[in-house]
Structure 1
Amino acid sequence: MLVLLLGWPAAAQGPGQKNDYLKNTELCNGKGAASPEARIEGCTALIQTVQGSAAALPIAYNNRGNAYVAKQDYDRAIQDFDQSIKLNQTYTKPLNNRGVAYLRKGEYDVAIRAFDEAIRLKADYAEAFANRAMAHLKKRDYDRAARDFDEAIRIDPGLRAAWSGRCWSRAVVGALQAALEDCDKALQTEPDNAATYDSRGLIRLKMGQAGAAIADYNSALRLDPKLASALYGRGFAKLKTGMADGNADIAAARSIDAEVADKFLDFGVR
């Protein structure tokens, strides 16, 4: 969540300067679905303008970091989050956001440490718990992921990503009925989420309901045609029902993710 910058900087005295400051503030905060490039430009202008504002600078660096994440420029994002944290060591958002950048880079242990620090400073930080859970999922530590999703949902039951994430982690560890309830809950509020249909497909597959699994994987693939786990799962379910074209799905999945078959073994699908 972005935070509005408050107050005029000392340098912005004239009406024109105040208008520019307001415009840059709105851009930096992503008002009106501003593009990442426009957000970066607005935040950069603010950083140059508000050098004397101890309250505004950390927010501007954090917001610019978010814009760099949107551009997948994770190294620049991390530099901005580092600067934001240096300026205000009690500001938890850049700690969480730095963790997201490291998560996207595939540096999962570093990401977890960032989320740990955010949670240490803010024990009810639901988003940080959910993000740390995602890092644990990437490390295939499904039990820890489920516990972090539990905490995220306890703190904020409206956090949609946590329901979908817990559905997946529970599906993998075999808590199938509870996982199914989580997926259904997630789809009530976010019916166009390919990952949740993919998770429910896995649940149906592990429950021995191949036909229902195929239906869920079809839904996932309508939304994301190159989702390797859904292609592989659908192919596996098709073979279970005697449909020869399941091999084509499995081959397509392997062309996208060479390790997908090993992952399904980890999921308990044999």
Structure 2
Amino acid sequence: MTAGASVVRAVTLILIVVLSGSSSLAQKPKKDGSLKNVELCNGSDRVPPEARIDGCTAFIDAGEGTPNGFAIAHNNRGNAYSAKTDYERAIKDFDEAIRLNPTYAKAFNNLGVAYLRKGAYDLAIGAFEEALKLNPNYGAAFANRAGAYLKRNAYDRAERDYDEAIRLDPNLGSVWSGRCWARAVLGALQAALEDCDRALQSESNNAAAYDSRALIHLKMGRLSAAIDDYNSALRFAPKLASALYGRGVARLKLGDRSGGDADISAARRMEAGIGEDFARYGVPQGD
């Protein structure tokens, strides 16, 4: 998607952006301080990003590891930089990890995530494709590439990638919500509805799933149900312009002119092109 609230929702709500977690450094440090650095660099998300960065940097600077060990350290530091939204440094680390180990599928996936978060969608897709060449059963890479295709308005390709992600790992976060959105836009409404229901069974506070299901109801003419779901989406994401706009359209169709106009005006103040986005999804603009 190139503009409008759906850009925001696809990135921040539906998009999975599954970073492949820290790999483990299989090193035998000579000093206690080195062991601590390895532990920090191997750290999970429970370790603050700054501490992980410091641990990985100390390990790399010590120069006592193997090429594969350094590749893992650069990947783990890249994940920490991504957690801090410092994508330029993250990309440099993932590139270095790949240079040191060209078969490192995780690093390709994580590189794609960093590009995706920067808005470099073609580069992101290319990185995910490399990850999938190395590991054709990489569910997270399929899910992430699906998110990149959503950004490119390639809903059919996104749907196919979500199909693969779900086949390989049905418990990946937000895959059901993502496929629901793609199917809703494509017009496969009943299948989309089933996906959103599945997403909400496991995550009842998923604003994206409520927003997607509301669009389905709107396209089916179930206006009251659409408003209910838009209300739920806005409860969890109050600044979600797509939910405001969709609720406004539903209210107008039900004869609530003042409420509908207020919602649509508020949505357009957030995202000027929101009406054009909805027209592309098969919902005429509310005027």
Answer whether TM exceeds 0.5 for this pair.
yes
In the other structure, the counterpart of 2:55 is 42
Q: Tell me by how many angstroms 1:224 deviates.
A: 0.9
**Over aligned residues, Cα RMSD in angstroms?**
1.4
What is the TM-score with the length of structure 1 in the denominator? 0.93
Q: Secondary structure at the match of 1:229?
A: helix
Give distance in 2, aligned partners of 1:39 and 1:258. 40
Matched, 1:188 2:208: no
Q: List structure 1 runs of 4+ shifted beyond 6 angstroms.
A: none
Cα gap change, 1:234/1:29 in structure 2, threshold over 3 Å: closer, same or farther?
farther
In the other structure, the counterpart of 2:22 is 2
Give distance in 1, aligned partners of 2:63 and 2:211. 47
Q: Secondary structure at the match of 1:133?
A: helix
Q: Tell me by how many angstroms 1:176 deviates.
A: 0.4
Give distance in 2, aligned partners of 1:32 and 1:195. 24
Give distance in 2, aligned partners of 1:189 and 1:50. 45
In the other structure, the counterpart of 1:266 is 280
Give distance in 1, aligned partners of 2:90 and 2:113. 10
Q: Secondary structure at the match of 1:90?
A: coil
Does the 8 Å CA contact 1:112/1:135 hold for their aligned counterparts? yes
What is the total number of aligned residue pairs between the two structures?
A: 263
Find 1:248's aligned residue among 262, 272, 275: 262
Matched, 1:154 2:167: yes
Identify unmatched segments of 5+ residues in structure 2: 1-20
Give distance in 1, aligned partners of 2:251 and 2:150. 27
Give distance in 1, aligned partners of 2:41 and 2:233. 34
Q: Higher relative contact order by CA 8 Å / sep ≥ 6: 1 or 2?
A: 2
Give distance in 2, aligned partners of 1:226 and 1:22. 45
In the other structure, the counterpart of 2:135 is 122
Give distance in 2, aligned partners of 1:113 and 1:252. 37
Letter matched to residue 215 of structure 2:
L
Q: Secondary structure at the match of 1:225?
A: coil
Letter matched to residue 121 of structure 2:
Y
Give distance in 2, aligned partners of 1:256 and 1:168. 21
Does the 8 Å CA contact 1:160/1:189 hold for their aligned counterparts? no
In the other structure, the counterpart of 2:11 is none
Does the 8 Å CA contact 1:25/1:43 hold for their aligned counterparts? yes
Give distance in 1, aligned partners of 2:281 and 2:156. 13
Give distance in 1, aligned partners of 2:174 and 2:45. 24
Does the 8 Å CA contact 2:22/2:44 hold for their aligned counterparts? no
Q: Tell me by how many angstroms 1:25 deviates.
A: 2.8
Matched, 1:179 2:199: no
In the other structure, the counterpart of 1:166 is 179
Find 1:210's aligned residue among 223, 233, 236: 223
In the other structure, the counterpart of 2:92 is 79
Q: Tell me by how many angstroms 1:237 deviates.
A: 1.2
Does the 8 Å CA contact 1:170/1:179 hold for their aligned counterparts? yes
Q: Tell me by how many angstroms 1:80 deviates.
A: 0.4
Q: Which moved more, 1:105-114 or 1:35-44?
A: 35-44
1:110-137 Cα shifts (integer Å, max 9, x gaps): 1111111110110001111111111110
In the other structure, the counterpart of 2:249 is 236
Residue identity over aligned pairs, in percent, reads 61
1:246-269 Cα shifts (integer Å, max 9, x gaps): 211111211221111111011101
